[in-house]
Amino acid sequence: SLIEQSDYVGKDFPEEARRMHYQEVPERSIIGEATVQEAKALLDEGIDLIPLPQAVRAKGTLQ
């Protein structure tokens, strides 16, 4: 699945999403953590994201 093929970036998710959006690094599927405020800021910048349940995000495991 797409989630299983994503790179886990943990709490660096907002920074890494911005780096991809502004073409500082190649685009890829990432999964990680962001606060509500960080997620809103990303959306305001035009960066798409999909919230996932905590069980999917926990410690980088996708089980």
pLDDT values of the chain reduced to their tens digit, one per residue, 63 residues: 778 899 999 999 999 999 999 999 999 999 999 999 999 999 999 999 999 877 555 545 554
pLDDT of residue 52: 85
pLDDT of residue 63: 45
Indicate the residue type of 39: A
On whether the CB atoms of residues 4 and 28 are closer than 8 A, the answer is: no
Query: Which single residue is written with the structure tokens 């998710």?
Result: 13
The residues pairing with 41 across neighbouring beta strands, listed in sequence order, are: none
